[in-house]
Amino acid sequence: MQLRQLDTYRWEIPMTGSMRVPGIVYASADMLKGSDQREPLKQVANVATLPGILKASLAMPDMHWGYGFPIGGVAAFDWQTGVVSPGGVGYDINCGVRLAATDLVEKDVRPKLESLVTALFQNIPSGVGSQGSLKLSVPEEKKVLRDGSRWALRQGLGEDGDLEHTEDGGCLPDADPELVSARALQRGQKQLGTLGAGNHFLEVGLVEEIFDPRVAGAFGLFQGQVTLMLHCGSRGFGYQVCDDFLASMTKHVQKLGLQLPDRQLACAMIQSEMGSRYLRAMACAANYAWANRQILLHRSREVFQRVFGLGPRDLGMRLVYDVCHNIAKKEEHVIDGKKRTVCVHRKGATRSFPPGHPALNEGYRVVGQPVIIPGDMGTASYVLVGTEKALSDTFGSTCHGAGRLLSRKAAKKASKGRSIHRELEDKGILVRWTGRGTLAEEMPDAYKDVSEVVAVVHGAGISRKVAKLRPIAVVKG
What residues act catalytically? 400
CA 158 to chain centre: 21
Neighbours of 248 (CB within 10 A): 16
Gyration radius of the chain's alpha carbons: 21
Q: Which of the 8 DSSP states describes residue 346?
A: E
**CB burial readout 198-233, b (16+ within 10 A) else e:** bbbbbbbbbbeebbbeebbebbbbeeebbbbbbbbb
Alpha carbon distance, N-terminus to C-terminus of the chain:
37
User: What is d(CA 5, CA 322) in angstroms, rounded to the nearest whole number?
Assistant: 34
91 φ, ψ (degrees, to nearest 5): -70, -40
User: What is d(CA 343, CA 357) in angstroms, rounded to the nearest whole number?
Assistant: 18
User: What is d(CA 23, CA 11) in angstroms, rounded to the nearest whole number?
Assistant: 8
Q: Is 249:50 a contact under the CB 8 Å cutoff?
A: no
User: What is d(CA 202, CA 300) in angstroms, rounded to the nearest whole number?
Assistant: 9
Residue 97, classed as helix, strand or coil, is strand
205 φ, ψ (degrees, to nearest 5): -135, 175
At position 8, the amino acid (one-letter code) is T
Written as one string, the DSSP assignment of 50-69 is STTB-S-EEEEEEEE--SSS
Q: Is 275:265 a contact under the CB 8 Å cutoff?
A: no
Closest CA to 186 of 251, 228, 129, 233: 129
What ranges make up the beta strands (E) of 308-400? 318-324, 326-335, 338-347, 350-351, 370-373, 381-385, 397-398
User: What is d(CA 81, CA 22) in angstroms, rounded to the nearest whole number?
Assistant: 19
Closest CA to 149 of 126, 133, 165, 138: 165
